[in-house]
Amino acid sequence: MRAPGADGRITRNRNRKWQLLLLLLLDEEEEKQQQWEDRQQTLAYLQWQHQHARRRTWLQNYYCQLQALYADLDVLESCRLRRAHVAAAALGAAVSTQQSVHRRLWVKNRSQAWWAKCNHPGFPDEEFHRSFRMCRATFNLICEQLAGAVAKENTMLRAAIPVEQRVAVCIWRLATGEPLRLVSKRFGLGISTCHKMVLEVCAAINDVLLPKYVQWPSAERLQHVTREFEAMSGMRNVVGALYTTHIPIIAPKINVAAYFNKRHTEHNQKTSYSITLQGMVDARGSFTDVCIGWPGSMSDERVFEKSNLFRRGMSEDLRGMWVLGGPGYPLLDWLLVPYVQHNLTWAQHAFNEKVVEVLQIARNAFSRLKGRWKFLQRRTEVKLQELPAVLGACCVLHNICEMHNEMFDPELHFEVVDDEMLPENINFPITALQARDSIAHNLLHNVHAGSSFL
Range of the domain at 381: 216-450
- pLDDT exceeding 70 applies to what percent of the chain? 91
Asked if 361 contacts 252 with a C-beta cutoff of 8 angstroms, the reply is no
Residue 152 forms part of a structural domain? yes
How do residues 234-284 score in pLDDT, each as one tens digit? Answer: 999 999 999 999 999 999 988 999 999 888 888 778 899 999 999 999 999
The residue type at 397 = L
- pLDDT exceeding 90 applies to what percent of the chain? 61
Q: Which of 211, 234, 267 is the last residue of a domain?
A: 211
Asked if 276 contacts 246 with a C-beta cutoff of 8 angstroms, the reply is yes
What per-residue confidence (pLDDT) applies to 92?
63
* Inter-CA distances, 296 with 245, 281, 370, 374, 408, Å: 9, 21, 17, 19, 28
How many structural domains comprise the chain?
Answer: 2
Do residues 205 and 235 share a domain? no
pLDDT for residue 352 is more than 60: yes
For strands 322-324 and 335-336, give the pairing. parallel
Do residues 233 and 145 share a domain? no
What per-residue confidence (pLDDT) applies to 93?
61
Cα distance between residue 395 and residue 294, in whole Å = 16
Residue 400 forms part of a structural domain? yes
Do residues 167 and 245 share a domain? no
What does the pLDDT average to over 137-154?
94
**pTM score, two decimals?**
0.74
The residue type at 25 = L
Do residues 229 and 346 share a domain? yes
Do residues 206 and 224 share a domain? no
Which stretch of 49-58, 253-262, 306-315, 382-391 has the lowest confidence by average pLDDT?
A: 49-58
What does the pLDDT average to over 140-148?
96
CATH number of the domain bearing residue 184: 1.10.472
Do residues 235 and 179 share a domain? no
How do residues 51-68 score in pLDDT, each as one tens digit? Answer: 888 888 877 877 777 777
What per-residue confidence (pLDDT) applies to 451?
45
What per-residue confidence (pLDDT) applies to 78?
79
Do residues 229 and 176 share a domain? no
Which stretch of 101-110, 292-301, 393-402 has the lowest confidence by average pLDDT?
A: 101-110
pLDDT for residue 101 is more than 70: no
Do residues 205 and 221 share a domain? no
* CA geometry: angle 395, 401, 403, nearest 5 deg: 100
Cα distance between residue 92 and residue 82, in whole Å = 15
How do residues 36-46 score in pLDDT, each as one tens digit? Answer: 888 888 888 88
